[in-house]
Structure 1
Amino acid sequence: MLELLLALWPLFALIVAGYYLRRWEFPNEAFWPGAERLNYFILFPALLFSSLATAPLDNPALPRLGLAVMLALGIAWLALLLLRRLRGWRAARFGAFTQGALRFNTYLGLAAVASLFGQEGLTLAALMLALMVPTVNVLSVWSLTAERGVSARSLLLPILKNPLILACFGGALVNFSGLGLPGGTGRLLGLLAAASLPLGLFCVGAALKPEQLGGEIPALGWNSLLRLLAMPALAWAVAYALHLPATESTVLVLFFALPTAPTAYVLTRQLGGDSQLMAGLITLQTLLAAASLPLVLMLLAL
């Protein structure tokens, strides 16, 4: 338990620091959008690319891990569709609830995996991201536009242009080609990757909006419990059924126990969803994850 807390508390300390830095307007308000873009388009892809380019991809558990990811997401999606039918949610709210339940904070997830499992964990996480990011993005866009329809091009084009997806597939191609990262390329990507996680956690904190927590406490509460407790329980059940090894199971459960992604707010606003509800979900889940994430991992270790 102590080792787990020692691995996780610095991550949440960076999130808190990011919140107060933005609140104190340091360095200034214009810094944060640029920092997010730098991380999203350059630093974070460098981490994913380098992790997969040099990873041992002959792990026999990897196909089962991929199956576990898709199976858990599929079960969760069917449950959300049933809830929508029972509750009669409009797309604006259903899209926010879907993202609150299915999307995940990638920066926090990779930082936690790196602290707990090092390079081996980062490799597993990068492979999971290659499956989870496009799937969750498609489901998020569809849920926000279900009432007015959306074309296949609108669903697929953002995925094909997503720098995280491109980095994952690029790294895998380099790995299978046997080229490796020669001539100092690995060192360059390593330097860029080293900056991605702390900057990403600062940006997570900067995106928090505690003022959005009022008004819809029941909705915020049940969706947060679904994301932070029910989703990791589902992931554990799937991992158990598929007999995943311990490390793969833990990484899977960890990613399903993460709070929702701050970028969900941007997508919700762009597609006419309930952005205030989405902002509240992002903030509450991130705050609660400081307690729920260590709890889930501790129970997993028993």
Structure 2
Amino acid sequence: MEVLLRLLALLGLLLVGTGLRTVGILGANRTKRLNAAAYYVALPALVFVATYDRAISSIVSLELFVGVIVVLLGTAAVAWSVHRNRTSSARRSVAVVQSYHSNIGYLGVPLIAATFDDRVTAIASAILGFGSLVQVPLTVSILVLINGTSTRVRDQVWNLATNPVLLALLIGIVIGSFGIPVHGTIVVGLDALAALALPLALLCVGASLDLDLPDVDPFATGSVTVVKVAAMPVLAWLVFTLLAVDSDTFTAAVIMLAMPTAVSTYVFAGELGGDERFASLNVFVTTVASVASLFVLIALLG
């Protein structure tokens, strides 16, 4: 019951963000500032606190690395097959990438930090790191391929290299691996900032949505949702069972890969010829649907 109430509270915050946007309280400028606070402050603080006191060998394994890649590429292949016959390339490209591109940063790590222990959070932070290095290039490549648009590889590499969350992960891993002491006052301050990560992220996600109900394609959105919040977690469960990873790694991997579609896919769609309204709707629907799927997974994982 506690887990269900927590997930419903998260859904409530998401809807609050959408409502504040609708009534004009969270306009574009305020949403941008909230997003910056989450992206540059709260999320990096959370990732650093989760990793600064652990050696990388204690949280990352070859099985984890291989498993995440297999699940991402496997789900992308399933999505390509499911959506291959859509006549609109703009909609087809979005449907494919939103079926596997998970919200592992804004929702994944904060949700795990609020639900599981520190080691699971540390593993989730590592998944965020190398998972992003797979998801982002794959998403850009698919959008470019299907829509015939172009992007500068150098810009995408620079965006990844300067990502504050990934930088915080790298710094935390280096400090943890070399046993560099961190003053307690700093940790307490970062802990306080880290606690803001999930509520800020949910408000930003809700305020970023641009829904156009008359333009809804129930079958297309339903297909994306089923692949993302049902097929992908099942595949993750099977892959990591076969890899025989430890329970903390299993929990972190399955929950992270069960996250709803990332809001960043909406941004990528706008930049690279995708259907933006379709993308926005899918983010909303997969996020709402994930409340039920995550409840089931968390209950099964204890």
Q: Normalized against structure 2, the TM-score is what?
A: 0.88
Q: In the comparison of the two structures, how many residue pairs are matched?
A: 299
Written as runs of structure 1 = structure 2, the 5 A alignment for 1:126-137 is 126-137=125-136
Aligned to 1:122: 121
Amino acid of the structure 2 residue aligned with 1:33: K
Aligned to 1:143: 142
- Distance in 2 separating the partners of 1:97 and 1:180: 46
Deviation at 1:127, TM superposition (A): 0.7
Describe the superposition over 1:161-210 as per-residue Cα deviations: whole angstroms up to 9, x where unpaired. 22222221121112122213226222222222122221111112222334
**Which residue is equivalent to 1:217?**
218
Take 1:153 and 1:61, find their aligned partners in 2: how far apart are those partners?
A: 28
Alignment of 1:98-247 (within 5 A): 98-105=96-103, 106-146=105-145, 147-148=148-149, 150=151, 152-182=153-183, 184-212=185-213, 214-247=215-248
Task: Provide the residue aligned with 1:274 in structure 2.
Answer: 275
How does the TM-score come out when normalised to structure 1? Answer: 0.88
Bigger mean CA offset, 50-59 vs 250-259 = 50-59
1:238 Cα deviation from its structure 2 partner: 0.3
Gaps of 5+ in 1: none
Structure 1 residues 177 and 246, CA gap change in structure 2 (3 angstroms) = closer
SS at match of 1:238: helix
CA distance in 2, matches of 1:260, 1:74: 15
Runs of 5+ consecutive residues of structure 2 not aligned to the other structure: none
Secondary structure in 1 aligned to 2:261? coil
> 38-47 or 207-216, which moves further after superposition?
207-216
Q: Does the Cα contact within 8 Å between 2:79 and 2:227 map onto a contact in 1?
A: no
Report the CA distance shift for 1:152/1:18 in structure 2 as closer, same or farther (over 3 A): closer
Structure 1 residue 255, shift from structure 2 partner: 1.6
- Opposite residue 200 of structure 1, the aligned amino acid is A
Summarize the Cα distance change of 1:166–1:208 in structure 2 as closer, same or farther, 3 Å threshold. same
Does 1:69 pair with 2:72?
A: no
Q: What percentage of aligned pairs have identical amino acids?
A: 26
Tell me how far apart the structure 2 counterparts of residues 118 and 75 of structure 1 sit (CA, whole Å): 29
Moved over 6 A (4+): none
